[in-house]
Amino acid sequence: MQSQLPLFPEQASNFAPHVDALMGFIILVCLGFAVAVTIAIIVFLYMFRRKSPGAIGVAIHGDMRLESAWIGVPLILALAMFAWGAIVYVDFRRAPPDTLDIYVIGKQWMWKLQQPNGLKEINELHVPVGQNVRLIMSSEDVIHDFSVPAFRVKMDVMPGHYNTLWFRPTRPGKYHFYCSQYCGTNHAIMGGWVTVMEPDEYTAWLAGSGGAHVSPVVAGQTLFAEKACLTCHQSDGKGSAPSLNGVFGGQVRLASGAVVTADEGYIRESILNPNAKIVAGYQPLMPTFQGQLTEEQTLDLITYVRSLQGEPVPSSGAGVIQTAGKN
């Protein structure tokens, strides 16, 4: 399949045709300019070559019309490139609501990925074709970057917070993924393969590769008890901390008066740096769990909190603003 001199990567996601079309547009515009300037230079060099050793040229100092034209025309074309590029990027940065969420942890120099049912993969990612997939990514050490050229997507993987990356695979197959942000000694081999499967194959694969993996919800629930979170975060709202029922995805009012959406990043921050955002009506009592949880344990906890999304919200002591509609 791979020729000796490959010049164009495969197109295997919803973004690939858009990115390639942008590439085509910008190549055409730039080629137009480059060819025009090159031809002008070559023609001038020939036509106006020095005819005798002492000859001088004609004194032309400038032309306002020309100057305005070659400021105006490139400006318009540049703005067109900007606008089109921004449209693609906005789409890329805003994941649709119905995504298959996969947690990704980068560390020197491997990738750990976790399917929604808790199945863990190392340097391998299996996803179903045609399904919107969202990677929720963090790093245990330095900055990494998850990059899939065939999908035309990449996103930095930062220590300390979550970045998300979404795509919809459009063609079954095996595609390289790379670490694209230099991360130390074995940066170049910190990669692997994305396998895009038919949905039924994917379901079978998920079921078949069962083994003894623990659902992250169960793992998170266990941790929630072990770390004594439930002493304060009682589900009926009677503890000294807000109930977590229905919090995930909802709006939370803070002591500062601000309202934030409880996403993965918020839950994570509330675990590792609890005093950063205090829920209105509560005291900053919670200790930090910075350094006491691995990235995977943090993700398990978040998944558990997320599983409480549909639980009944108590009338008092709720973490979430109850009138706010859930999305």
Partner 1 sequence: MSTNAQTISPHTMPETDYLNASYGIKSWLLTTDHKRIALLYLFSVTFFFFVGGIFATMIRIHLLTPGGYLVTPETYNKLFTMHGVAMIFFFLIPSIPAVLGNFLIPIMIGAKDLAFPKLNLLSWYIYLIGGGFVLYSFSTGGLDTGWTFYTPLSSVYSNSAVTAAVIGIFINGFSSILTGLNFVVTIHTMRAPGMTWFRLPLFVWSHYATSLIFILGTPVIAITLLLVALERVFHLGFFNPALGGDPILFQHLFWFYSHPAVYIMILPAMGVISEIIPTFARRPIFGYSFIAGSSIAIAVIGFLVWAHHMFLTGESLYAAIAFSLMSYLVAIPSAVKVFNWTSTLYKGSIALDTPMLYAMGFIGLFLIGGLTGLFLACLGLDIHLHDTYFVIAHFHYIMVGGAVMGYLGGLHFWWPKISGRMYPEFLARAAAIILFIGFNLTFFPQFLLGYMGMPRRYHSYPPELQVLNVMSTAGASILALGYLLPIIYLVWSYKYGRVAGPNPWPATGLEWKTQSPPLTENFDVTPVVDWEPYDFEHRPDLALEPGVGGLLPAHGDD
Question: Is residue 315 involved in binding partner 1 (CB under 8 A)?
Answer: no
Q: How many residues bind partner 1 (CB under 8 A)?
A: 93
The dihedral built from the CA positions of residue 243, 247, 252 and 255, taken in this order, carries a sign that is positive
Shortest spacing between CB 239 and partner 1, in angstroms: 27
Nearer to partner 1, 57 or 210 (CB): 57
Give the whole-angstrom CA distance, residue 266 versus residue 260. 8
Give the whole-angstrom CA distance, residue 2 versus residue 8. 11
Look at residues 293, 234, 301, 297 and name the one whose alpha carbon lies nearest to residue 266. 301
| 318 contacts: CB under 8 Å, gap ≥ 6 | 237, 242, 243, 245, 246, 247
Sequence length of the chain is 327
Q: Which stretch binds partner 1 (CB under 8 A): 82-90, 198-206, 210-218, 304-312?
A: 82-90
Element (H, E) at 126: strand 124-128
Question: Is residue 60 involved in binding partner 1 (CB under 8 A)?
Answer: yes
Q: How many alpha carbons fall within 13 Å on the CB side of residue 41?
A: 6
DSSP class per residue in 267-297: HHHHHHSGGGSPBTT--S-PPP-TTTS-HHH
Question: Is residue 28 involved in binding partner 1 (CB under 8 A)?
Answer: no
Shortest spacing between CB 245 and partner 1, in angstroms: 29
Question: Is residue 122 involved in binding partner 1 (CB under 8 A)?
Answer: no
Strand-pair partners of 103:
114, 136
Nearer to partner 1, 145 or 300 (CB): 145
Question: Is residue 176 involved in binding partner 1 (CB under 8 A)?
Answer: yes
Question: Is residue 85 involved in binding partner 1 (CB under 8 A)?
Answer: yes
Q: Which of 17, 30, 203, 281 binds partner 1 (CB under 8 A)?
A: 30
Question: Is residue 193 involved in binding partner 1 (CB under 8 A)?
Answer: no
* Contact positions with partner 1 (CB under 8 A) in 127-146: 141-143, 145
Nearer to partner 1, 44 or 281 (CB): 44
* Contact positions with partner 1 (CB under 8 A) in 232-261: none
Nearer to partner 1, 62 or 97 (CB): 62
